[in-house]
Amino acid sequence: MNTSFLRVSVWVYLAIFFAYLLGPLVIMSVTAFNSSEFPRATPWECLTFDWFSALFQDQRILNGIKNSLIIGLGTVVLSVAMGLAGALMLTQIWPKLRATYYTIIIAPILIPGVVLGISTLVFWDRINRFLGLGADSFLSNGIFLTVIGQSTFIASYCMLVLVARLQRYDVALTEAALDLGATHAQAFRKILLPFMRPAIASAAVLAFLASFENYNTTTFTFGEYPTLTIELAQKVRYGITPAISALAFIIVVLTVFFALLNEAGIKRKEVVAAARRQATVGEMTGKVRLPGFFTGNAAAVVLVVFAIATISVVGTATVYSPAQCIADVKEQKRLEAEKRIQELRKKREEQRKQREAEQAEQGEAQQSAPKPSNNSGFGNVFAPNTLSGEGEDDAPETDTDEQPSGGNGGFGGAFDPNSLQSPSD
Amino acid sequence: MSAGVGVDLENLWIRFGDFVAVRDANVNINGGDFFSFLGPSGCGKTTILRAVSGFLEPSEGNVLIGGNNMKGIGPNKRPTALIFQNLALFPLMKVWENITFSMEIKGASSAERRKRADELLDMIALPDQGDKLPSELSGGQRQRVAIARALCAEPDVLLLDEPLSALDLKLRQHMRTELREIQKRVGITFIYITHDQGEALTMSDDIAVMRAGVIDQIADGKTIYNDPSTAFAASFVGENNVFRGKVKQVMGSEALITTNRSGDLVARISTANQGKMKEGDEAMMFIRPEAFAIAPDGATGDHFVTASVTHEEFEGNVFNIFTEGEGGKEIKVSIPNLGQSFESHTGQAITLEYETRNAVIVPAGELAAE
Amino acid sequence: MPGFLKEFLNRNGTGMGLAILGLVLFWTIGLIILPQLSMLDFSFRPNLPPPEIGGPKDVYTLENYKYLVYGPEGGSQDYNVVDLRIFFRTLIAAVCVTIFNLILCYPIAYYLGQTKGNHIRVFALMLIIPYWINEILRAFALRIIFGETGVLNTVLVGLGVFDTPFDFIRNDIALYAGLGYAYILLMIFPIYNVIESLDHNQIEAARDLGAPWWRIHWRVVVPYAKPGISSGCTMVFMLSAGALAAPQILGGPSSLWFTQLIYQQFNDNNDWPQGAAYAIVLLVTCILFVLAAMRLFKVNMGDIGK
């Protein structure tokens, strides 16, 4: 009985854990399809794909993607090269220096990204001044600085990935190649590099992702070339829209897609390797057929289902129009707003009456004691200023609802959390 | 290639920091010979091989190949090919690509390479295995591929670094014969590194016995076995019983030594030490287990040893009798099994007899570890 | 040393050797050491307009560090209460996030490390995928959830837990959840790596000897996993203390993170030396803190980064 209780609690724990881990991403993805102006999953308004088109019309986002790609490419090249050199050096450095050297090349992982960004900026600015170059020189270029700054620590990640593989490399292989007449460069290219290829690929992917999502370092170095992450941060900090959810959704989908693809590829290699081991030489060539791709390969099956789902969703998106639904919701909102306004008016009417009555009373009282009003506890609430303020808050909402041409954009302020505060009171 | 290219080591010293790996080695290897360096692990034999192949620069002295000094010439420029202890087959290349790697370096076409690979695969009796990966071959097959790969480079000298050590006993014995045959067929110089005296004795023309960076003796296998020049060579190659003592009297090529346990015994002074040993010197006398015979009880003299038997074992071709030796070591006596009935001696004292020519005296020195 | 260099070039070939050496030197000296030293030097200098740099006014000064402690000269308070409070809050909060993450991740890492089966691969994939999503977007996702009208508030109000939406952002709950969320993987992986190599028989043996589950963990698993735990904690602490995106997006408007102060010095005040000084303070404090914690828990430096 104890074990079954334990097992249940393990699964409950796992469920909570993965809910914490994946829940936010799922909810964020869902908000990309809700027509609500503010990204949220509840209340659900209308299924819409408009946020995607809004996303693809955003020049800053597109420009950010372009910059991110350029910087990512530069970072991949530089950090994989430095990481590989660093790893090679680590395997053959003088033993007395090894600990120091390792500490130096591992340190950038632990140094806060902010610090790396600042030190890069300060250092290259100095070099630039030292060389007597202007503010528009290559050394103060945002792309250069960002690549340099990011590579400082991304190269450490690459080094760790590469050194793990390099430790399994038999130096005798290089020696054998040399012994058979190869030059050092040939031995590197023909023996070491092919051996390292899987690790280099992993390191490159890792480097690209790290570069693509880096914020802390880039935020100090980007200069005139904001990356996607920088643009996103700007947007998220100063007002959020479901277009960002749409972008997040795309990234989530791509990530899942590539993860599955990778998984399926690994599985396939295992299947092929198993087949090779069993096959004799004659059978081997051309025996691995495509359907073999799926045998015992759950990841591949999921991958295909996933691809089909994506295609059908995109297909739906091209024909689906949420206009009717949005109009309905808008109508409903208008009605609600009107109702609220009515209520408000009624309330205001009552208040006015009440106040008039009070004033009448006070007016009598004032005659005997002419003192400023609003002394009473609820005085402020009924002050004319307060009332007009409330009225102003309502105004934009009423306006947009009565302006059919306002379109989606018009909702803006109404669903801003701050604006919502007062009506919901 | 027909006459073979010789290799000479002249006053070769190799140091790693304070550690001396090779101390003043002088070796002349004749062209076309099968030459072995034999010694326990850590004795510096692999270091010598790496100096010959060019992976190590000697601290002092020279390596000459075919009379040419190899100083400053890298491994990829030397006419040597090395077969690594772990073979170092390229794991990602197919067998035929492995074999013809040296041709790929020189820019040979794929067709040429395939053709050559097929010839070599035939030679090593692995036809049609060219498209496999090394990981798909058995240990013995990999061994042969490594040889083919080295031979494909058409080296003048083939260097082998304990290539058989990873194989099981049967295969190892088979590969010995095969290696020797290949060597005879291609006619080039083989330099072979091993700690296995059986391999060295069966295959080599000449053997250098090494101990702690020093070459103790260079000679053919028979000489090393029968006429070792140091205590180490005597104890490392083959089984040997040691008797410690002092030289009592030198009589030409023979000497009488006073042993610690067994009284005065007579033996031949090893060839290398003749004329160098004098009365009072610390000496060691070695007698092989098979050189003893059981003497009639009560026989005494300077070629009889009396001892009590501790235990016996039957090995098939021989009976082994172990008697008390000195310093906790046993004296082992092997009697060939010729179908004679054999009575147990355990617990009894027996007298052993040997012929003077089968006992050899060398100066006292370090013995090989068991 | 030249001997070492010569051997290095011999072993790698002159061309390859020089390429490796060049890249390593560029990285270690040009990208790691010199920029840090440069920043250190910079933090001791006054904030001058470009023409005056290198001029007579460009002298070493402790002003920038004094500012953190005492605030502006002639300020109304004896100490720079605002900045110091932010500084210590950042450190304490980073410690809390680290502990929270450790408690959250240890069971998962243990489970993944000691369980066999296909579903483990699926779990691993589910762990890694969130890590591939942009840090900003992850913070954004949490902001959607923790917002005034977010999912969480809708649910909690719907369930009647709260009468009115709770302001998770103003109370910094969103921030702590976001920081924890951002570095889960960095805590799990080092611990997982170590626990995976723990022979399950040790646990079986301990159980066999009658140890209750908590004692098995305390006496067998945790000591064994210590290098992984310290590795994970170090990473999470350093990254939390140095985080910028999450505090900017999820932090309440009234409470800043120390990195945000640095950011302000650079981008809003345009006072680079001041920013550099703050960055140095952050870096040095974090390192000292980690070293002290390692001394306290008797962990070797070599175990970190495994």
Is there a domain that residue B368 lies in? no
Whether C13 sits inside 8 A of A185 (CB atoms) is: yes
Higher-pLDDT residue of A39 and A302 is: A302
pLDDT score of B206: 93
What is the mean pLDDT of the segment spanning C113-120?
77
- Measure the CA–CA gap between C63 and A215, rounded to whole angstroms: 29
Is there a domain that residue A22 lies in? no
Q: Which residue of A has its CA nearest to C253?
A: A237
Query: Does the pLDDT of residue C191 top 80, yes or no?
Result: yes
Is there a domain that residue B260 lies in? yes
Q: Are A113 and C244 in contact (CB under 8 A)?
A: yes
Check whether residue B114 and residue B199 sit in a common domain: yes
Average pLDDT score, chain A: 75
Average pLDDT score, chain C: 80
Is there a domain that residue C57 lies in? no
Mutation for C interface: A119, A169, A251, most C CBs within 10 A: A119
Q: Mapping DSSP to helix (H, G, I), strand (E, B) and coil, where does residue B288 land?
A: coil
Q: Which residues of A touch C107 (CB under 8 A)?
A: 10, 13
Q: What angle separates helix C135-146 from helix A2-31, to the nearest 10 degrees?
A: 100
The tally of domains found in chain A comes to 3
A43 in B contact zone (CB under 8 Å): no
Is there a domain that residue A358 lies in? no
A182 in B contact zone (CB under 8 Å): yes
Is there a domain that residue A170 lies in? yes
The residue among B183, B198, B226 that closes a domain is: B226
The tally of domains found in chain C comes to 2
Check whether residue B220 and residue B247 sit in a common domain: no
Check whether residue C80 and residue C156 sit in a common domain: yes
Q: Which residue of A has its CA nearest to C134?
A: A213
Check whether residue C236 and residue C296 sit in a common domain: yes
pLDDT score of B42: 83
Specify whether the backbone of B286 is left (phi greater than 0), alpha (psi in -120 to 50) or beta. beta
Check whether residue B143 and residue B279 sit in a common domain: no
Selecting from A173, A180, A281 the residue whose C-beta is nearest the C-beta of B128 gives A281
Residue A365: C-alpha distances to residues A356, A359, A369, A371, C48 (Å): 14, 9, 6, 10, 67
Check whether residue B296 and residue B327 sit in a common domain: yes
Residue A406: which domain range? 322-348+385-416
Q: Which of B208, B206, B196 is nearest to B169 (CA)?
A: B196
The tally of domains found in chain B comes to 2
Which of A309-313, B23-27, C13-17 holds the top average pLDDT? Answer: B23-27
Is there a domain that residue C52 lies in? no
Q: Are C20 and A89 in contact (CB under 8 A)?
A: yes
- Measure the CA–CA gap between A268 and A262, rounded to whole angstroms: 10
What ipTM was estimated for this complex?
A: 0.84
Check whether residue A150 and residue A89 sit in a common domain: yes
DSSP one-letter string for chain C: -HHHHHHHHHHH-HHHHHHHHHHHHIIIIIIIIHHHHHHHHHHTS----GGGTTSTT----SHHHHHHHH-STT-SSSS-HHHHHHHHHHHHHHHHHHHHHHHHHHHHHHHHHH--SHHHHHHHHHHHHHHHS-HHHHHHHHHHHHSTTSHHHHHHHHHTS-SS---TTTTTHHHHHHHHHHTHHHHHHHHHHHHHTS-HHHHHHHHHTT--HHHHIIIIIHHHHHHHHHHHHHHHHHHHHT--HHHHHHS-TT---HHHHHHHHHHTS--HHHHHHHHHHHHHHHHHHHHHHHHHTT--GGGTT-
Check whether residue B38 and residue B130 sit in a common domain: yes
Residue A20: C-alpha distances to residues B39, C130, C184 (Å): 64, 11, 10
Is there a domain that residue C56 lies in? no
Check whether residue C279 and residue C136 sit in a common domain: yes
Is there a domain that residue B234 lies in? no
pLDDT score of C75: 62
Q: Which residue of A has its CA nearest to B90?
A: A173
Is there a domain that residue A18 lies in? no
Q: What is the 3-state secondary structure (H, E, C) of chain A?
A: CHHHHHHHHHHHHHHHHHHHHHHHHHHHHHHCCECCCCCCCCCCCCECCHHHHHHHCCHHHHHHHHHHHHHHHHHHHHHHHHHHHHHHHHHHCCHHHHHHHHHHHHHHHHCCHHHHHHHHHHHHHHHHHHCCCCCCCHHHCHHHHHHHHHHHHHHHHHHHHHHHHHCCCCHHHHHHHHHCCCCHHHHHHHHHHHHHHHHHHHHHHHHHHHHHHCCCCHHHHCCCCCCHHHHHHHHHHCCCCHHHHHHHHHHHHHHHHHHHHHHHHHHHHHHHHHHHHHCCHHHHCCCCCHHHHCCCCHHHHHHHHHHHHHHHHHHHHHHCCCHHHHHHHHHHHHHHHHHHHHHHHHHHHHHHHHHHHHHHHHHHHHHHCCCCCCCCCCCHHHCHHHHHHHHHHHHHHHHHHCCHHHCHHHHHHHHCHHHHHHHHC
Check whether residue C151 and residue C281 sit in a common domain: yes
pLDDT score of B1: 41
pLDDT score of B7: 92
Check whether residue B219 and residue B257 sit in a common domain: no
Domain with C193 in it: what CATH number? Answer: 1.10.3720.10
Q: Are B257 and B264 in contact (CB under 8 A)?
A: yes
Q: Which residue of A has its CA nearest to B155?
A: A180
Q: Are B99 and B117 in contact (CB under 8 A)?
A: yes
Check whether residue B21 and residue B105 sit in a common domain: yes
Q: Are B101 and B89 in contact (CB under 8 A)?
A: no
Check whether residue A227 and residue A250 sit in a common domain: no
What amino acid is encoded at C15 in this protein?
A: G
Is there a domain that residue C49 lies in? no
Higher-pLDDT residue of B113 and A417 is: B113
* Block residue for tokens 């003796």: B217
Selecting from A105, A233, A248 the residue whose C-beta is nearest the C-beta of C28 gives A105
Is there a domain that residue B180 lies in? yes
Residue B119: C-alpha distances to residues A254, B99, B115, C199 (Å): 51, 11, 6, 50
Check whether residue A315 and residue A327 sit in a common domain: no
The residue among A240, A259, A284 that closes a domain is: A240
Query: Does the pLDDT of residue A251 top 70, yes or no?
Result: yes
Check whether residue C82 and residue C3 sit in a common domain: no
Check whether residue A164 and residue A278 sit in a common domain: no
- Measure the CA–CA gap between B1 and A284, rounded to whole angstroms: 39
The residue among B163, B196, B226 that closes a domain is: B226
Domain with B267 in it: what CATH number? Answer: 2.40.50.100
Residue C84: which domain range? 62-303
Check whether residue A334 and residue A265 sit in a common domain: no
pLDDT score of A152: 93
Mutation for C interface: A79, A93, A122, most C CBs within 10 A: A122
Check whether residue A303 and residue A396 sit in a common domain: no
CA of A169, closest CA in chain B: separation in Å?
Answer: 10
Check whether residue C180 and residue C100 sit in a common domain: yes
Is there a domain that residue B2 lies in? no
**pLDDT digit string (tens) for chain B, length 370 residues:** 446 789 999 999 999 888 999 999 999 999 889 999 999 988 888 899 999 998 888 999 999 998 899 888 888 889 999 998 888 899 989 999 999 999 998 888 999 999 999 999 988 888 888 898 998 888 888 988 998 999 898 899 999 998 888 788 888 888 888 888 888 888 899 999 998 888 889 889 999 999 988 999 999 989 999 999 999 999 888 888 988 889 998 888 889 998 887 788 889 998 888 888 888 889 999 999 999 888 887 777 788 888 888 888 888 888 888 888 666 678 888 888 887 777 777 888 888 889 988 999 999 888 887 6
- Measure the CA–CA gap between A19 and A29, rounded to whole angstroms: 14
Check whether residue A40 and residue A144 sit in a common domain: yes
Residue B322, H or E segment: strand B318-324
pLDDT score of C300: 67
A281 in B contact zone (CB under 8 Å): yes
Query: Does the pLDDT of residue C150 top 90, yes or no?
Result: no
Whether A114 sits inside 8 A of C107 (CB atoms) is: no
Check whether residue B50 and residue B161 sit in a common domain: yes
Check whether residue A122 and residue A140 sit in a common domain: yes
The token pair that represents C281 in the structure block? 């303070």
| Chains contacting chain A through 3 or more C-beta pairs under 8 A | B, C
Whether B136 sits inside 8 A of A176 (CB atoms) is: no
Higher-pLDDT residue of A285 and C218 is: C218
pLDDT score of A376: 40
Q: How confident is the model at residue C52 (pLDDT cuts 50, 70, 90)?
A: low
Is there a domain that residue A357 lies in? no
The token pair that represents B74 in the structure block? 């890298």
- Measure the CA–CA gap between C43 and C80, rounded to whole angstroms: 18
Check whether residue A187 and residue A58 sit in a common domain: yes
Q: How confident is the model at residue A393 (pLDDT cuts 50, 70, 90)?
A: very low
Is there a domain that residue A422 lies in? no
Check whether residue A330 and residue A293 sit in a common domain: no
pLDDT digits (tens, 9 = 90+) for A88-141: 998 888 888 888 888 888 888 888 888 898 889 889 888 888 887 777 777 778
Residue C48: C-alpha distances to residues A134, C53, C269, C270, C271 (Å): 17, 6, 13, 10, 9
Check whether residue A150 and residue A175 sit in a common domain: yes
What amino acid is encoded at C272 in this protein?
A: W
Check whether residue B216 and residue B314 sit in a common domain: no
Residues 277-296, chain C, touching A (beta carbon < 8 A):
279-280, 282-283, 286-287, 290
Q: Which residues of A touch C141 (CB under 8 A)?
A: 24-25, 27-28, 248
pLDDT score of A343: 85
pLDDT score of A79: 94
Check whether residue A83 and residue A169 sit in a common domain: yes
Check whether residue C8 and residue C135 sit in a common domain: no
Check whether residue B215 and residue B245 sit in a common domain: no
Q: Which of C287, C288, C283, C113 is nearest to C190 (CA)?
A: C113
Check whether residue C93 and residue C128 sit in a common domain: yes
Is there a domain that residue C50 lies in? no
Check whether residue C178 and residue C140 sit in a common domain: yes
Q: Which residues of B touch A194 (CB under 8 A)?
A: 92
DSSP B366: P
Q: How confident is the model at residue C73 (pLDDT cuts 50, 70, 90)?
A: low
Domain with A184 in it: what CATH number? Answer: 1.10.3720.10
Check whether residue C6 and residue C82 sit in a common domain: no
The residue among B164, B193, B226 that closes a domain is: B226
pLDDT score of B117: 92
Check whether residue B308 and residue B217 sit in a common domain: no
pLDDT score of C166: 72
Check whether residue C1 and residue C138 sit in a common domain: no
Domain with B185 in it: what CATH number? Answer: 3.40.50.300
Residue B68: which domain range? 7-226
| Chains contacting chain B through 3 or more C-beta pairs under 8 A | A
- Measure the CA–CA gap between B6 and A75, rounded to whole angstroms: 54
Query: Does the pLDDT of residue C216 top 90, yes or no?
Result: no
